[in-house]
Every structure is written in structure tokens, then in C-alpha cells.
Amino acid sequence: MKRKPDLETPGYDVARTRKILAEAEMAELELAKIHGQLVQTEEVCKAWEEVLRNMKAKLLGMPSKVAPTILGETSVAAIKVLLDNAVEECLNELANYQPTIDAAKTLGGSTKDSGDDLMSEASSEVKRRPVGRPRKTARLAEL
């Protein structure tokens, strides 16, 4: 005789409650991602890397940009003003910099995991031809 699982035990209720809470939390996270309130950490890291690379390029390019203007100056005050202006211009450019964030990855997860691209490529290559043996009506029409 088979023994039925005891649904009245506290272990079952605890496990079921944990499962329901986990599913609800996952649904809330997915909803937050859809509303743009949640971003994957790897996307944030990539955006920050891009910002820092751009900042490094601007700072490294500043001496070659400013050197020709400083060359003719003899007073320290005038050189300071030129350097201040160059730094301020660099900071203003960086303040307006917008890193690129892939919205598809942010909203729908990784594009590598989704087969949408593969399906659209495959469906564009489909050639419509009859498959299998010809119907009896088609053979009768030929006679």
C-alpha cells in the first residue's frame, strides 16, 4: 500500500511558503526590470568602464591640446587661466557624456540566450514548397 505524502506537516507548509515567496520576488524583479527601475550589474559596469575610458582619453589628450596655446605665454597667471579653461572644458564634455546601454539586454536579459535572432534569420530563408507525395486530385487533373 502506497503512503500518501503528509500535507499537514510543518515542513511542507514552510517549503511551499518559501517557493511562493521566491516566485513573487522573481516576478517583482522582472516587473522592475521592465519598468526600467532595475539594471543588470554587468551593464552598469560596462557603462562605467566606457565613462572612465572616455575620461582617460580626454585627460591624456589635454596636454597636446593646451601646449600650443601656452607656448607663447610668459606670465604664470595667464598660463593658469588657460589650464583652468582647458580643465573646465574637459569636465563639461565629460559631464554631458552619455554611455551607451543596450536596452535589449537591460529589458529582456542577454540576447545570447534568446533565440529570436535565429528564428528571424531562419524564417526569412524558408522556401514554400509542397512536402510529401502529390495529392490524388493533382494527379487526376494531369490526366
Q: What percent of the chain has pLDDT over 90?
A: 19
Structural domains of the chain, count? 1
Query: In terms of residue numbers, what domain contains 85?
Result: 40-103
For residue 48, pLDDT beyond 80 = yes
Q: Is pLDDT larger for residue 87 or for residue 117?
A: 87
User: Is 21 domain-assigned?
Assistant: no
Q: What is the rounded distance in angstroms from the CA atom of residue 53 to the CA atom of residue 97?
A: 12
User: Is 47 domain-assigned?
Assistant: yes
Do 124 and 62 contact (CB within 8 A), yes or no?
no
User: Is 98 domain-assigned?
Assistant: yes
Highest mean pLDDT among 8-12, 63-67, 98-102: 63-67
